[in-house]
């Protein structure tokens, strides 16, 4: 079926290439992709077309978009190599897709959804012994049926959600080198807290944009969350492999990993180089692999962090001693997990650890335990559209976790709060 699609595409384009030679207006043009992050990951949500002359009354139905996806790192599954995109509407814009009354550019807004892999410029791939998310080569051919105009030359990619992040961070500790992305708040009076996010197993590498866009972790820098903290730094360290890497094999807590010392040194270095960080309000969290390393850091440095926020915890309870529980029982922690998580099984990880903390007298520890992980936007079916139940970090990134394990609302000063509202109020004693 895909082969037939490719043949049809070649035949279709040949007609317009002939027109392009005969019609100066139809000479091939440039396009820029705009990538945005969503609950399920990144997608190409817009394409900005360069115009030789204004295109009056541009209609979405007059455009056809054909996509080719490939990677030099390996071969993609045939079903997701080629496809078509749907244009929802158009508007005149600048080169970066900002709407204008009129302009030399036209932005096409494209349909995206969690079950449309053709829309994504990222692919989860197995390379050698491990699988991870990787950016891929995402090529478009845009055809305007009325004029015969074609756009098939890429003029770059804009990662719209990361425009205020510094993605150049590098840090070396001993033999370990880490990369990181960071965000600094603006117009903050006094010191600001630091939100640390530690990515999942699929976002390792040397490109922090993957750690932030592989899922919606960049959202901690969004205005909706920033306002709760009065402005906050965001730090997203990235491991070259995965946080649970034990050097030989993977740890779930039974042996030491090879990264926790280095990432803690990175955090200390970042705080030292950013004197605007409030050392009494440093928060650490992550998902899955990142949940493991977050809890590991809290175990190793219980007096350093003001709070933890941990999703899909991958630290196994059997490797947590009673002494370790006693060390962290006074650290505020909010866990987020799904009951049927197939990867980090709740009865083996978060449920017994949460129970043991409560039994040890922990007063400020919570567990939002969801039946399933589903669409929270309502755009794709709501509770009827179910994600992989490992993806409980969706509820943290969107700041919608509000309930403790028994279903009661988490209260703060007599009022129910969300996970980020709660975290913003936590402060370590000097």
Domains of the chain: 2-160 (2.60.40.2180), 164-424 (3.40.50.1820)
Residue 62 to residue 142: CA distance in whole angstroms: 10
pLDDT digits (tens, 9 = 90+) for 64-115: 999 999 999 999 999 999 999 999 999 999 999 999 998 899 999 999 999 9
- Residue 27 binned pLDDT confidence (cut-offs 50, 70, 90): confident
Q: Could you tell me what percent of the chain has a pLDDT over 70?
A: 94
State residue 128's pLDDT score: 82
Say yes or no to pLDDT of 5 above 50: no
- Residue 19 binned pLDDT confidence (cut-offs 50, 70, 90): very low
Taking residues 182-205, report their average pLDDT. 96
Under a CB-based contact definition with an 8 Å cutoff, are residues 388 and 374 in contact?
no
Say yes or no to pLDDT of 253 above 60: yes
- Per the prediction, the chain carries an average pLDDT of 93
State residue 26's pLDDT score: 56
- Residue 13 binned pLDDT confidence (cut-offs 50, 70, 90): very low
Say yes or no to pLDDT of 273 above 50: yes
Residue 368 to residue 374: CA distance in whole angstroms: 14
Say yes or no to pLDDT of 274 above 80: yes
pLDDT digits (tens, 9 = 90+) for 327-377: 999 999 999 999 999 999 999 999 999 999 999 999 999 999 999 999 999
State residue 130's pLDDT score: 85
Residue 305 to residue 307: CA distance in whole angstroms: 5
Under a CB-based contact definition with an 8 Å cutoff, are residues 197 and 286 in contact?
yes
Give 17 or 210, the one with higher predicted confidence: 210
pLDDT digits (tens, 9 = 90+) for 42-67: 999 999 999 988 887 899 999 999 99
Show the DSSP H helices in 319-418 as ranges. Answer: 322-328, 350-359, 393-397
Q: Which of 124, 114, 86, 117 is nearest to 385 (CA)?
A: 114
State residue 18's pLDDT score: 45
Residue 425 to residue 54: CA distance in whole angstroms: 52
Q: Could you tell me what percent of the chain has a pLDDT over 90?
A: 88
Q: Which of 37, 60, 145 is nearest to 110 (CA)?
A: 60
Say yes or no to pLDDT of 10 above 70: no
Say yes or no to pLDDT of 384 above 90: yes
State residue 279's pLDDT score: 98
pLDDT digits (tens, 9 = 90+) for 386-403: 999 999 999 999 999 999
Inter-axis angle of helices 289-300 and 260-273, nearest 10: 70
Q: What is the chain's length?
A: 430
Token pair of 223 as six digits: 């205005």
């Amino acid at each position: 079926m895909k082969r037939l699609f490719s043949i049809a595409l070649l035949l279709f384009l040949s007609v317009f290439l002939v027109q392009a030679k005969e019609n100066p207006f139809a000479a091939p043009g440039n396009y820029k992709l705009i990538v945005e992050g969503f609950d399920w990951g990144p997608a190409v949500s817009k394409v900005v077309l360069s115009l030789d002359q204004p295109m009056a009354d541009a209609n979405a139905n007059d455009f056809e978009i054909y996509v080719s996806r490939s990677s030099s790192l390996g071969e993609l599954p045939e079903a997701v190599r080629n496809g078509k995109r749907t244009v929802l509407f158009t508007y005149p814009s600048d080169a970066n897709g900002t709407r204008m009354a009129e302009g030399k550019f036209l932005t096409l807004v494209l349909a995206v959804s969690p079950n449309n892999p053709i829309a994504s410029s990222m692919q989860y791939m197995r390379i050698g012994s491990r699988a991870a998310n990787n950016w891929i080569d995402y090529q478009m051919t845009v055809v305007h049926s009325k004029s015969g105009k074609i756009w098939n030359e890429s003029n770059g990619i804009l990662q719209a959600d990361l425009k205020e992040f510094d993605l150049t961070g590098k840090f070396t500790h001993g033999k370990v080198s880490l990369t990181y992305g960071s965000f600094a708040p603006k117009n903050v009076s006094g010191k600001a807290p630091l939100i640390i996010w530690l990515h999942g197993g699929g976002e390792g590498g040397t490109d922090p944009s993957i750690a932030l866009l592989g899922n919606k972790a960049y959202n901690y820098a969004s205005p909706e969350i920033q306002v709760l903290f009065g402005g906050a730094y965001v730090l997203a360290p990235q491991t070259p492999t995965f946080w649970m890497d034990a050097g030989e094999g993977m740890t779930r807590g039974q042996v030491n990993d090879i990264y926790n010392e280095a990432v803690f040194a990175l955090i200390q270095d970042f705080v030292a180089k950013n004197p605007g960080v409030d050392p009494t309000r440093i928060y650490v969290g992550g998902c899955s692999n990142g949940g493991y390393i977050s809890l590991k850091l809290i175990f190793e440095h219980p007096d350093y962090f003001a709070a933890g926020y941990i999703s899909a915890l991958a630290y196994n309870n059997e490797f947590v001693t009673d002494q370790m529980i006693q060390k962290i029982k006074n650290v505020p922690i909010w866990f987020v997990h799904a009951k049927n998580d197939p990867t980090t099984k709740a009865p083996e990880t978060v449920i017994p650890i949460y129970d043991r903390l409560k039994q040890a007298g922990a007063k400020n520890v919570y567990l939002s335990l969801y039946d399933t992980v589903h669409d929270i936007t309502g755009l794709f079916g709501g509770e009827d559209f179910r994600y992989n139940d490992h993806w409980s970090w969706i509820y943290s990134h969107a700041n919608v976790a509000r309930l403790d394990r028994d279903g009661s609302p988490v209260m703060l000063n007599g009022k129910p709060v969300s996970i980020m509202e709660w975290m913003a109020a936590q402060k370590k004693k000097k």
